[in-house]
Amino acid sequence: MTLAPVASFASGVGEPGEPEGVPLPDGRRRVVIDAIRPAVDGGQYPIKRVVGDRIIVEADILVDGHDRLAGVLLFRRRGEARWRETPLAAVGREPGLPDNDLWRAWFVPDALGTWEYTVCAWVDAWATWRWGLQRKYQAGQDIAIDLLSGAALIEEAAARAAGPGPEDRDAIALRRLARAVSAPGDLAARAVIALGAELDTLMGAHPDRSAASTREPPLAVTVDPPRARFSSWYELFPRSTASGGGRHGTFRDAEQRLGYIADLGFDVVYLPPIHPIGRTFRKGRDNRLDAGPDDPGSPWAIGAAEGGHRAIHPELGTLEDFRHFVRAARGHGLEVALDIAFQTSPDHPYVSQHPEWFVRRPDGSIQYAENPPKKYQDIYPFAFAGPAWDSLWHELREVFLYWIAQGVTIFRVDNPHTKPLPFWRWCIASIKERHPETIFLAEAFTRPKLMYALAKAGFSQSYTYFAWRTSKDEITSYLRSMLDGDVKEYFRPSFWPSTPDILPEHLQVGTRATFIARAVLAATLSPSWGIYGPAYELQEKVAREGAEEYADNEKYQLRQWDLSRSDSLRPVLRRLNQIRRDNPELQSFTGTVFHQTDNPLMICFSRKLDDESGGDARAGTPENSASGAILVVVNLDPHHRQDAWLSLDLRALGAGENGRFQVHDLIGDARYLWSGARAFVSLDPQVMPAHIFRVRHLVRSERTFEYYL
């Protein structure tokens, strides 16, 4: 029998004996980087962080056999020519040896924009040799040949270190040590040199990375301003801020409200659309089809003879008035968020100037917005996938850029889930490339996966289903759904108890305690939250018949609000926002733990500083953590006192297994001394339906005095 010739291992692709289409890898690159975390969909989308976050990166790094590995985390701001790097550390019980091949390092982005990170790893020939030498030496075996092999590795490192300046000094030192290790003489003395700290440090500074493996392509992280994660929003209709009854408010009137909003502790004042409002098919009060001559119309029916998305409603003032409003807001520590709604009224200049941007019905008329059986004849949607999609996309991006030029960097986007995801990916990415300081809030009450897809497409925050999650089980499961898996890496929720579009049933039939409890839940469960003010602080709860929507809705009419009412929630909201500012645990979403209660009408949860806020929770223990935790208990029954025994996860509180600790109620300023994992709480909604506790650890000093941290 004649055998076919076998191709040499040195042969290239396409040589006889090699399967067609299977390239020959570089056999020297033995290290496999199996997974890197954090990552979204395997790195298809960026994770999200804010400036100053510690980004902890983990990787599963494998190699055949028993060779030792080394590696670095590479990171840079996109566009930088050179990578920065920091060493990877093995995560394991024995220093330098990984458990389950897990390695870790971290970096802190110091600027806004898109950053890249990846992992580079290689077989550490020196560490492998050193480990083997040490074991042989301790076992009393002959190490003469091993020392010669080590000297050769040292000479190679000296060649890599050779160069001008300090590196040349390293090369000189390495050559000296190589001679000492290889010189004839006492093996024990040579082994001491070979295993010494000086040589190990020098060899670690000049590793052989010629056969290193690097994960390609790199992963990405969008680094946003801190308000992208932690912010408190207050929705304000400027047209309802006039002091005189029935008069249309102006930006100058709205400026007088800024001090009040800042005093409440909010840091974003959000304005519905400020553009001219169409007159054709204008809606009347409570969304009636028959508008009266004095009805102002819905701000979301954008566009009239006075202009469109880049114009200002003439009754609000001029462009300079708006710029003055933005400057005045910043003087109060507030940022202005502007509503962007990509739709038009029939009177918008786009309709006559660019009819190709709209959908035509068979009778030649333009298709108006519908959500059957509802009809919105006063609103025309755009044809995002129509024949003129490219010019439309560029024009809509210019709308954002125009308002950025006027000083606005935060946008609440109306119904983004009704526009194509590719548009948002392109639009937001191209804007943030030039303006990384921008923040985009998605008003997306839609299916969960579509809501998450918008976050992946670039939205900084998103509205959520919080408004309809009321029971302990609903709230707990909903939060956990956003804390599990990759969702927490890219999705930032914003909790709103109500909006001008949504007046949930529990608020309609609730009490003052309902409004307080919902505000406490929103403000403590989510780092970003907002209220529709001043309707919320005045506990407006009358709904339009048969609808989950406010009666006498401010969307369709001017309103007058008595902010001096004695039953206003102003002091509660002010205290809530102060607690949020003073306690960094409430400024990050992760780290939330729910604690068991024996009463379904009492919910209890805590949050403790974790990786994103600068501390590595996995590397430390509860006893040496930077601080305790925030513990929140809320009575979900607005009518009756409720009692509960809490079963606390003491580790999550950083309180030790059986330690004593103090809880300080940050709302009422009361203090309680607790011991162990069981605690009793009673909450009367007529007084206050919630506790927000600061857990303070008990410390015993050398002089036996007890105090709390």
Give the pLDDT score at 18.
Answer: 59
> Which residue blocks in 79-141 are alpha helix, DSSP H?
125-138
Give the pLDDT score at 700.
Answer: 53
pLDDT at 5 over 50: no
Could you give the residue range(s) of every CATH 2.60.40.10 domain in the chain?
Answer: 32-222
Give the pLDDT score at 15.
Answer: 54
Give the pLDDT score at 141.
Answer: 93
DSSP per-residue string spanning 170-211 = HHHHHHHHHHHHHSSS-HHHHHHHHTSHHHHHHHHHS---TT
Which listed CATH number (3.40.50.2300, 2.60.40.10, 3.30.160.110, 3.40.50.460) goes with 32-222? Answer: 2.60.40.10
Which CATH fold topology does 228-587 show? TIM Barrel (3.20.20)
Could you give the residue range(s) of every CATH 2.60.40.1180 domain in the chain?
Answer: 592-708
Give the residue-averaged pLDDT of 148-154: 95
Give the pLDDT score at 659.
Answer: 72
How does pLDDT run across 608-645, given as a tens digit for each residue? 986 444 443 333 333 333 457 999 999 999 999 999 99
pLDDT at 505 over 90: yes
Give the pLDDT score at 699.
Answer: 56
Residue whose token pair is 């290239």: 12
pTM: 0.91
Give the pLDDT score at 658.
Answer: 63
pLDDT at 568 over 90: yes
pLDDT at 9 over 70: no
Give the pLDDT score at 8.
Answer: 39
Q: Torsions phi, psi of 495, nearest 5?
A: -95, 125
**Active site residue: 124, 170, 335, 414, which one?**
414
Give the residue-averaged pLDDT of 457-471: 97
Give the pLDDT score at 425.
Answer: 98
C-alpha span between 548 and 540 (Å, rounded): 13
Q: Which residue has the higher pLDDT, 378 or 513?
A: 513
The percentage of residues in the chain with a pLDDT greater than 70, rounded to a whole number, is 91
How does pLDDT run across 406-458, given as a tens digit for each residue? 999 999 999 999 999 999 999 999 999 999 999 999 999 999 999 999 999 99
Count of CB atoms situated within 10 Å of the CB of 400 = 22
Contact 688, 512 (CB under 8 A): no
**Active site residue: 124, 267, 443, 537, which one?**
443
- Please choose, from the candidates 229, 212, 271, the residue with its C-alpha nearest in 3D space to the C-alpha of residue 26: 212
Q: Is 414 one of the catalytic residues?
A: yes
Q: Which residue has the higher pLDDT, 171 or 8?
A: 171
Could you give the residue range(s) of every CATH 3.20.20.80 domain in the chain?
Answer: 228-587
Give the pLDDT score at 437.
Answer: 98
Per-chain mean pLDDT for the chain: 91
- Residue count of the chain, please give it: 709
Just give the CATH number of 592-708: 2.60.40.1180
DSSP per-residue string spanning 291-330 = --TT----TTSB-BTTBSTTS--TTT--HHHHHHHHHHHH
pLDDT at 57 over 80: yes
Give the pLDDT score at 17.
Answer: 59
What are the angstrom distances between the C-alpha of 396 and each of 273, 357, 420, 431?
A: 15, 11, 13, 11
Give the pLDDT score at 628.
Answer: 77
Give the pLDDT score at 134.
Answer: 93
| Among the ranges given (54-63, 275-284, 368-377, 496-505), the one the predictor scored with the smallest mean pLDDT | 368-377
pLDDT at 112 over 70: yes
Give the pLDDT score at 609.
Answer: 86
Give the pLDDT score at 376.
Answer: 84
